[in-house]
């Protein structure tokens, strides 16, 4: 969590320009962030005084993250606590000519998708009533469960702002050089096994390979032949691989058929299927190992 500085665009007063951010020494929990500690409040006061003396911009927003598990949809929305906090900021700063905004970042999805997953919001005044069934992005959704899943329980109390990214020419050249010379950053920023689509398909892929292995093992481990004999005066049948030998009763007709070529082809095919299943297992193991190494490297670089 942190504060943002910037200013309204002089050419477009309804556009807010964010130029810099300042992280706050705040302890976060799974469902809430503690920002009312005396030390944090004093830090914010000193930070505000320092910005006023050293920067032309003003405080104009705050940001925080929703580090939930990677899912099909982004977790960038305002919770009930977020709406209350944002409304307090707006009531304090808006009258001074600096509209205050909130940005919510989904960090885990950003890493999994290798693109920034964030959204900007402002809260409606308490006296304002949003149009029926209108979501923060302006879409009309009649299914209440769908609204809650995407926008949270306060879906009709805030609205989303369009986001555009800008960068100076000097910063663009530096970023281009870093990207070109240090492609390992892309590897660190992309973790396919965290994506929802990958995790949903994983059990299915494992089950398919497991079934193929079972069938291959059963086929390869079958006895060379089975013999079924009947009593006196009855016929008997002996099966050898895919070939059969049929012998009629004593003195009766008999017919023999042995197809050793087909048997050899079947055995080779079963071995090929088993090898393919083994290769699939190796691919699975490589994927998981690579993902674990990447995650461990990220932890060592950025968390420790």
Query: pLDDT value at position 290?
Result: 79
Query: pLDDT value at position 273?
Result: 72
pTM, rounded to two decimals: 0.57
Alpha carbons within 13 angstroms on the beta-carbon side of residue 178 total 8
Q: Are the beta carbons of 30 and 5 closer than 8 angstroms?
A: no
- Phi, psi dihedral angles at 11 (to 5 degrees): -85, -15
Helix (H, G, I), strand (E, B) or coil at 57: coil
The angle, 0 to 180 degrees and rounded to 10, between the axes of the packed helices 260-298 and 196-220 is 150
pLDDT along the chain (304 residues), means of 10: 89 87 74 62 86 88 86 85 91 86 89 83 92 92 89 92 88 76 60 73 81 78 44 40 40 44 52 75 81 77 63
For residues 188 and 159, what is the distance between their CA atoms, to the nearest angstrom? 33
Query: pLDDT value at position 268?
Result: 58
In sequence order, what E strands does the chain have? 2-9, 12-23, 27-28, 33-34, 58-65, 101-105, 118-123, 158-161, 225-228, 236-240, 243-247, 255-257
Q: Are the beta carbons of 225 and 240 closer than 8 angstroms?
A: yes
Query: pLDDT value at position 34?
Result: 56
Query: pLDDT value at position 264?
Result: 52
Token look-up 């059990």 returns 203
């Amino acid at each position: 969590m942190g504060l943002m500085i910037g200013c309204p665009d002089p050419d477009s007063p309804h556009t807010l320009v964010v130029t810099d951010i300042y992280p706050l020494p705040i302890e976060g929990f799974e469902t809430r962030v503690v920002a009312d500690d005396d030390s944090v409040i004093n830090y914010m006061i000193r930070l505000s005084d320092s910005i006023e003396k050293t920067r032309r911009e003003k405080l104009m927003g705050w940001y925080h993250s929703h580090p939930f598990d990677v899912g099909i949809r982004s977790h960038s929305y305002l919770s009930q606590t977020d709406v209350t906090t944002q409304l307090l900021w707006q009531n304090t700063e808006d009258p001074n000519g600096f509209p205050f905004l909130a940005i919510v970042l989904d960090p885990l999805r950003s890493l999994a998708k290798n693109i920034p997953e964030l959204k900007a919001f402002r809260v409606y005044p308490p006296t304002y009533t949003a149009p029926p069934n209108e979501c923060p992005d302006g879409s009309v959704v009649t299914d209440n469960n769908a609204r809650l899943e995407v926008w949270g329980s306060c879906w009709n109390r805030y609205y989303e702002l369009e986001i555009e990214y800008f960068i100076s020419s000097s910063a663009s050249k530096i970023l281009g050089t870093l990207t070109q010379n240090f492609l390992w950053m892309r590897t660190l920023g992309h973790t396919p096994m965290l994506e929802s689509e990958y995790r949903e398909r994983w059990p299915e892929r494992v089950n398919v390979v497991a079934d193929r292995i079972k069938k291959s093992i059963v086929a390869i481990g079958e006895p060379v032949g089975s013999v079924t004999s009947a009593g006196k005066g009855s016929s008997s049948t002996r099966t050898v691989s895919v070939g059969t030998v049929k012998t009629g009763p004593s003195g009766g007709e008999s017919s023999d058929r042995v197809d050793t070529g087909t048997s050899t082809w079947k055995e080779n095919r079963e071995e090929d299927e088993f090898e393919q299943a083994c290769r699939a297992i190796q691919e699975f193991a490589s994927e998981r190992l690579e993902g674990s190494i990447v995650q461990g490297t990220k932890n060592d670089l950025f968390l420790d």
